[in-house]
A and B are shown apart, each in its own frame.
Chain A
Amino acid sequence: MTAHLPVLQVVIPLVSAPICMLLRRGRLAWGFTLVVSWVVLGVAILLLDRTLAEGILSYAIGNWAAPWGIEYRVDAVGAFVILIVASVGAIVLPFAHASVRHEIPDDRISLFYTCYLLCLTGLLGIVVTGDAFNLFVFLEISSLSSYVLISLGTDRRALTAAFQYLVMGTIGATFILIGVGWLYMMTGTLNMADLAQRLPEVADTRTIRAAFAFLTVGISLKLALFPLHLWLPNAYTYAPSAVSTFLAATATKVAIYVLLRFFFTVFGAEYSLGAMPLAEILMVLALTATLVASLVAVFQEDIKRMLAYSSVAQIGYIILAISFASVTGLTAGIIHLFNHALMKGALFMAMGCIFLRLGSVHIRDMEGIGKRMPFTMAAFVIGGLSLIGVPMTAGFISKWYLVQATLEEGLWLIAVLILVGSLIAVAYIWRVVEVAYFRAPAQRSHEVKEAPVSMLVPTWILIAANIYFGVDTSLTFGVARTSAESLLGMGG
């Protein structure tokens, strides 16, 4: 049974999706998806446990041996990202029930959950697979389903946001496909481990360089690296609350995983960051992202949009850490991958609670909300503190390693810029806190009640996780360190 874990991780949600489509009643579809997502989480935990014990797990689909058949291949970093996706997927669902019923017409609810399961399948598949073309297929599954999910938002602008994402996402996917195609042309293989073996022979050709460039641009678009982030703010702002939460915590993280995979496993750190001045380019883009996007976030009136820009900034931190290509740098990046999922998940959930009660997350409508919805706003404050990187929160651990990695490279000026970014985060988080706690509640918000327990509990689970992983880092640090070492070809 346990030998089949890698494939079960993908097959369970994939098979469940059409079944969910058949369950026409919204509540039933929700219950079914809930059960599936918790099973998926169970599988993910077992998978991580096994990877940490045994190293890399390999599974040949249909018993076709690699490199001819499709190989599913899970190592520590993969299992860790799977755990992030699966746990966010599982925690969002209890939250989704009330939120989705409020935001989506009854006759579309089962469609919503079907797409949700497909999106989950795609994201998990990207991580599980060891085959470059298969990765593209899963990427498309997750992208197409997320276009649908975003377009289901209540605001009509959700449609244009989804369309914008569709256009940009398709361009990105095409770039990736072209890159994979050229790799296949030059090496005759699609298996990533096999590619890594054969690439050095042909690495000096223009085709491989072009393939690498196409892949880099395509993946950067998917992970919303500045200046290819333009699709993200609209998509996160107008998507249904549950979708914003789910995508913000998982989709870009998985894209970053793809980047790690191609950079470090397929091409190797030396080629990826050394052959062309890509490390420097990424560093500049990442720093620009953290500073510019943070500044833009300060001036947003819509708080979901503010959080979206903050995501662009935080992705900058992760890319910056990766660009160092050192063990500490990659450790910092992978830790932040996890921690950022926790904090953004929690913050978007708090916004979902507020949207449910107020029908808006515009800062103007949130005056005095701290008194009306104390638990929701307390969650927002703690999540915000984690984003800022205050001690005893997960964000602090990320920041610690990020600055340490930067200082190890001797780049103290960049360390200062990282901290400036963190101070700008204080500005945009505190703007909300002041409005929520210091303004008198608006007249029409008199009937506003606290969000339902079914939404508060998931929010607070993520908040608790933010604190727990700020206090006990044995899991995050341990896994991130192992992953970083294996990506750089050291240790295991």
Chain B
Amino acid sequence: MAMPAISQQFVIELAVAVPLIGAVLIWMLRERPNQREAVSLVTAGILFALVASLLPGVLNGDRPTAVLWETLPGLPIALRVEPLGLLFALVASFLWIATTIYSIGYMRGHREGNQTRFYVYFAIALSSTMGIAFAANMFTLFVFYEVLTLSTYPLVTHAGTEEARRGGRVYLGVLLGTSIGFLFLAIVWTWSVAGTLDFREGGILRDTVSPPVIGILFALYVFGIGKAAIMPFHRWLPAAMVAPTPVSALLHAVAVVKAGVFTVLKVSIYLFGIDVLAEISVTGWLAYLAGVTILIASLVALAQDNLKLRLAYSTVSQLSYVILGALLANPLAVVGGAMHIAMHAFGKITLFFCAGAILVATHKTRVSEMRGLGRTMPFTMAAFFIGSLSVIGLPPMGGLWSKWYLALGTLEAGQIGLLVVLMLSSLLSLAYLLPIPILAFFGTPDKDLPSDGIKEAPPACVAALLLTALGCLALFVFPEPLYQLTSLIISK
């Protein structure tokens, strides 16, 4: 990058600060929509450039650190870049660019109100996502985790309707409930037994308490991180689908949910250490629970007619892949889980973009109404096809690689049952995703569908969804950088 003069420490601080500055500017430009959206876009671009500039250093083994301030003695708000966090930050900040382009088309095309509020809270959510990605200790991570929950609440309830209010209630209830009830308790408990909350290679809990206690503590973490949506704490994600589609796309397919599974990985690797996890029996039970979540959520997805709900349940299922990666507690599975954060993000965001584009262009939300839609919206449906393949895990899409490593991980752990779960789930996702583009292209259109000519969504929407669909392809052809980054996580 062209900013060698800026120290890396400053770059991390900027990564959290830039979206906040953007939020203030967006609010100041609330009377001028064009400039406001330009600020959003430029902020997203700068953020991605900042995060990307950290990549070469991290690949070379740098771990830049920044201590912001000390809130409680021994518990500073501090940032530290390590490979897993950088991966998450890269994905989130890149997809923010795509989502901003998309939002401009969507919010205007759909004539949504309160657009300034929308962009402001979006930027705040991204700032807290960066905070989560770069958190140097569990305390910092928790602070940003809660800020993310609260800053996305106004986005989920954007419509302000009775339905939005109910959805928001479930959203906040589950996320705050699990984080205050379990996660907070787990963190204070960890602090009182380990005397530190720093993320360290190999974990901080070795030889502090007996294995059963470690097991209880770990279960508190896994259930407390409600954003990872492991059953029975997944209800908030379908509830959040009342939000405008860009929110569902970036936040509820990428930033928020990935913050959840990212935290699970981070806790497993850097607080407990995968060696410690491999020794305790709770991990096995939780792995089965993740397997159950994968299957049940896939089956529920199959039964949904509302497209966004179907995608939401698919996300619940796919998130447990990453959790499984952590719970299998071996290097291959961890690499697979970490890669799945990126792979699933690109695939699922494409699908959500398509769902939104269909809504804007035709006002259709139900799968059963999308028959023959491929003729009027060929680009959207083609992108949907690509995204589906990636989520299913078929070549030539990036989703293949992460599932490959996860499958190897199950073999390594000797968990044939879980391998079968992975295969079954792929088949199920095939069943709930692929019929949509196939029927769109080859089915006979409904009568009320304009059959003559192409009538696509606004160009900004189409551009964004093509961009992410290309991303799925690119990740298949060039998985190398991603693999390098993820393999650094466990090479210590």
Chain A residues within CB distance 8 Å of chain B: 385, 388-392, 397, 399-400, 403-404, 407-408, 412, 415-416, 419-420, 422-423, 426, 430, 434, 437-438, 470-473, 477
Contact = CB atoms under 8 A, between A and B. Distances in A.
B269 to A, nearest CB: 23
A416 to B, nearest CB: 7
A-B residue pairs, 9 tightest by C-beta: A391-B143, A438-B165, A403-B188, A391-B146, A407-B192, A404-B188, A419-B181, A390-B146, A419-B180
Given A400-B188, A438-B164, 20 more contacts: A388-B176, A391-B143, A391-B146, A397-B71, A397-B72, A403-B185, A407-B188, A412-B185, A416-B181, A419-B181, A422-B180, A426-B173, A426-B177, A430-B169, A437-B160, A438-B157, A438-B160, A438-B162, A473-B72, A477-B73
Interface of A, secondary structure class, is helix
A423 B146 contact: no
21 contacts: A388-B180, A391-B143, A392-B143, A400-B188, A403-B184, A403-B185, A407-B189, A415-B185, A416-B181, A419-B184, A419-B185, A423-B181, A426-B172, A426-B173, A426-B180, A430-B172, A434-B165, A438-B164, A438-B165, A471-B71, A473-B71
A437 B156 CA distance: 14
A423 B175 CA distance: 11
A304 to B, nearest CB: 24
A404 B191 contact: yes
Interface in B169-227: 169, 172-173, 176-177, 180-181, 184-185, 188-189, 191-192
B69 interface: yes
A392 B173 CA distance: 20
A391 B176 CA distance: 12
A143 B435 CA distance: 75
Contacts, number: 67
Interface residues of B, number: 27
Contact of A423 (B73, B157, B177): B177
Contacts of B142: 391
Contacts of B191: 404
A423 B181 CA distance: 8
Interface of B: 69, 71-73, 142-143, 146-147, 150, 157, 160, 162, 164-165, 169, 172-173, 176-177, 180-181, 184-185, 188-189, 191-192
Nearest to A402: B188
Nearest to B73: A477
B288 to A, nearest CB: 25
A336 B229 CA distance: 33
B233 to A, nearest CB: 14
A434 B146 CA distance: 19
B68 to A, nearest CB: 10
A88 B172 CA distance: 32
A168 B487 CA distance: 69
Contacts of A392: 143, 147
A485 to B, nearest CB: 14
Contacts of A472: 69, 71
Contacts of B185: 403, 412, 415-416, 419
A385 B147 CA distance: 11
A392 B124 CA distance: 14
Q: Give the most central of B71, B157, B177, B185: most A CB within 10 Å.
A: B71
